[in-house]
Structure formats: structure tokens, C-alpha cells
Homo-oligomer: A and B are copies of this chain.
Amino acid sequence: MAEAVRHDKTARQLRLLSDALDSGRLGPVRRLVNTLAPAEIGNLLESLPPGKREIVWGLVDPEDDGEVLVHVGDEVRESLLADMDPDEIIAAVEDLDIDDLADLVEDLPDTVIDEVLKSMDRENRERLEQVLSYPEDSAGRLMNPDVVTVRADVNVDVVLRYLRLRGELPDHTDHLFVVSRRHQYLGRVSLASLVTHEDTTPINRLIDDEQPAIDVGESDEEVARQFSDHDWVSAPVVDDNNILLGRITIDDVVDIIRAQAEHQALGAAGLDEEEDLFSPIRRAVRGRVVWLGINLCTAFLAASVIGQFELTLEKIVALAVLMPIVAGVGGNAAVQVLTLMVRGLALGQVGASNARILLWKESRVALINGVLIGSLVGMIAYFWFHSFLLSVVITLALIINFCAAALAGVLLPLLLKRMNVDPAVAGTVVVTAVTDVIGFFSFLGLATLILLN
């Protein structure tokens, strides 16, 4: 329901826009587009098929171009950049914050990068080069070097006078950072404390030095965790010598959290999170066929297990009818356990210290569910094929497969993690391969033992 509201609002804009585009009246389209925030325009452009996307992109206020480019996925960004000439690109990106520019710069044509660098003053160019020197997905890449610093040995009135002289503050400045003469990070002072204390209060009485600074090499996911655990709006970034390098703000953290969620959802289906709704066919095919190939291998593995029992299947064709049930429901049970484990691993809640307890718990759940679902399926099979032994076979096979599902669901994600493979991406293929193989093997194997004698 809640999602429907958002959907309705954006979908309504989309419909209005689409109608206006179809009617060829670009005036209303331009007005509509330019009431939106850059992130909303980005979202809209992603929802348009290539032809319409280009038309709308041409109508966006050039002042917003840079921010819009920051807010779209790589594929759409490429297609938008392809529509711009170098001067337009330079004009669009030169006013961006350093961290946004760093995010964008690698998608720009080389000649444009040179021009952009030339158009910047030396200080900003050096800052950009510094940010680019850190690995992607690290705190260094997320930080903006534009920070407001103060000294500890002054009073509130000195700071206020300095700020008035300085004028505008960078976006999301909720704290000023206190540094030593050598630019070492000492602590932070909130704007809230500046405006609630008397002019004569010394800054060192207002310092909060409890918040640890973020190390420039920290991973972006660790940064996101700290922000959400501590409810920060901004945080200082320092190097190994505690020298203040920059500042990370909550808006970037929100983007990381969203990207993580996307990565998990799309990765589980073997999709690249940059895949665009209207990716060119060739790209979409290439992006998906690898994953389908991997799944095909596991399907052939399962088929080869069935192949071992051709003689049994020839004699009792009911087995062929029922065998997908054993494999399929076992797969569902395994994915449930896997999903809980993947969440636990992502939150750091699962480790060597509690894996055994989890395994024990999940085995008991599996046994109960196996007996419940297995008996139900056994009964239905009995009424369908009128064979008591067949219904015993399928019940036993399901109980075995549920237990295999619990084992695979708990242990395989731990194993994948240790092998540095993301269990959120590879988990489903691997655990369902196990439940397919065990499902077919236990069902057909038990049938061969029990029914053919």
C-alpha cells in the first residue's frame, strides 16, 4: 500500500510527461521537468525509453545537468553524456562538489577530463586528485575535502565572526571540526551548541571528542554502518596520522545503503545493478546469459542424477510426476534458511561462535517442517496413485531433503563468505543445486530400494 503511493505519484508524473511528449508540445514537458529535484529528474530519465529520454534530457535546465548526471546509473549516464558536446559537459560538472565530481569523472571522455581539470583552480584540482587516489568503495572516495575547521583556544564570538566573514557553509554542515596547529583532528563542535551558548564561551568547553573519526581507508559499508548506528549527519575523515582530510555526509550514506540493497536484490538474480530498464538488447543478453549458463550447469547436474535411475523411472512413471515436488519444496526451504543467514552475515550477527547453535535450531525446524509437509504430500500422493509404499517413499525423501536444506542453508553461506564469494549473489544457485541433487537422489534412490523389491 505504502509503496503504491510513491508509485502513483511518480507514475502520474510519468504519464503526464508521456502524454505531453506524445502530443509533441514540449513547453509543458519543460515546465513539468523543471519543477523536479535533480534526483527526481534522474529517476524520470531512467524510466524513459531512449528516444524520449534524449528529448527530455534536452529540456532540463542546464544548471541541473551536473546533479542529474550524479543521480543516474552508469548505463543511463553514458547515454546522456553521449548527447552532450564537450562544452556542455564542462559547464555541467564544474560546479559539482568534489566527491560528486570524483564519482562522475571516470565516465567522462578523456578530452573532457583534461578540460575540466584545466578549468579548475589549483586547490580544487589537487583535492580532486587526492580523492581519486583512494580506492572506490572507500571512505576516501566518499569524502568531500571542503570542511570548516576552528581552533580550540578561541571563544564562540570569534568563531561566529569568522563564519560571518566566510559566508555560506558547505551543505550538511551540522558540526565544525576542531583541529590542532598541524591540522590534526581533535573533536567537533555542533552549530547547535554555538547558537545556544554565550559569546564568551570558550570552544574547548563545547568540544565533543567522543566521536571517533573515520579512517580514510575504511570501506563504504563500514562507514554506512557507523552512520546508522550513531545517527550521524556528518563525520570527519582522517589519515593514519590523524590529519583531517575531509568530511562524509549523510546524503552519500543514504545512497550507499540504497545501493547495497539493490546489489543484494539484483545480485540474487544474477543481474548487474547498473542494468537499465531499457538497456540495449545486446547488453541485456550478455548481462544475463552468463548467469543462465551457471544455472544450466546445476540443472544438468540434477539431470545426471535422474539419469542414474532411468530403469526405475521406466518401471514407475509416477516417480517422474512427483519428483519435481521433492526438489522444488526442498529448494524453497533452503532459500528461507539462506535468506536469514545472509541477513545475519550482513549485519555481522552470524559467526563461528553461534553457527553451531543456528545449525541445531535450523535442523529441528527442518525436521518438523519435513514431517508436516512430507506427510501431507504422502497423503496426496496416496490418493493420486493408490500406492502406500510410494507415499512412504516421498514422505521420507522430503524429510531427508528438508534436513539437507537446513544444512546447506546454514553452512554454504558461511563457506562462500570464507571463500570471499558474496553469499547474497551466489547463495541461491548453490543451495538449490544441493536440494535438487539430494531431492532427486533420495526420492529415486529410496524408490529403487523400496518399490522395486
Q: Which residues of B contact A1 (CB under 8 A)?
A: 219, 420
Q: A222-B6, A317-B310 are in contact. Are A164 and B197 (CB under 8 A)?
A: yes
If A3-B221, A160-B195, A233-B250 touch, whether A303 touches B325 (CB-CB below 8 Å) is yes
A402 nearest in chain B by CB position: B292
List residues 61-95 of chain A with CB under 8 A from any CB of chain B. Answer: none
Nearest B-chain residue to A251, judged by Cβ:
B231
A220 at the interface (CB under 8 A from B): yes
- Indicate whether A299 reaches chain B with its CB closer than 8 angstroms: yes
Residues in B neighbouring A321, C-beta threshold 8 A: 303, 306-307, 310, 313
Q: Does A332 touch B at the CB level, under 8 Å?
A: yes
Question: How many copies of this chain?
Answer: 2
Q: Across the two chains, which residue of chain B brings its CB closest to A332?
A: B295
List, in ascending order, chain B residues with CB within 8 A of A40's CB: 229
Interface bits A225-247 vs B (CB < 8 Å: 1, else 0): 10111110100000000000000
Residue from A166, A325, A328 having most chain B Cβ neighbours under 10 A: A328
Q: Which of B233, B250, B299 contacts A328 (CB 8 A)?
A: B299
| 0 or 1 for each of A355-384: is its CB under 8 Å from B? (1 = yes) | 001100100110011001100110010001
Assess whether B228 is in contact with A278, with CB atoms less than 8 Å apart: no
A23: B residues at CB distance < 8 A: none
| A46 and B266 within 8 A (CB) | no
Q: Could you tell me if A302 and B285 are in contact, using CB atoms closer than 8 angstroms? A: no
**Distance from A364 Cβ to chain B, minimum over Cβ atoms (Å):** 5
0/1 per residue, A143-175, Cβ < 8 Å to B?
000000000000000001001101111011110
Q: A59 contacts which chain B residues (CB < 8 A)?
A: none
Set of chain B residues within 8 Å of A420, measured between Cβ atoms:
1, 4
A-B contact pairs, 22 of them (CB 8 A): A1-B420, A4-B420, A5-B219, A7-B351, A14-B348, A14-B351, A40-B229, A163-B195, A164-B195, A168-B192, A168-B196, A227-B254, A277-B349, A285-B368, A285-B372, A288-B365, A288-B369, A291-B332, A292-B369, A296-B373, A299-B325, A300-B380
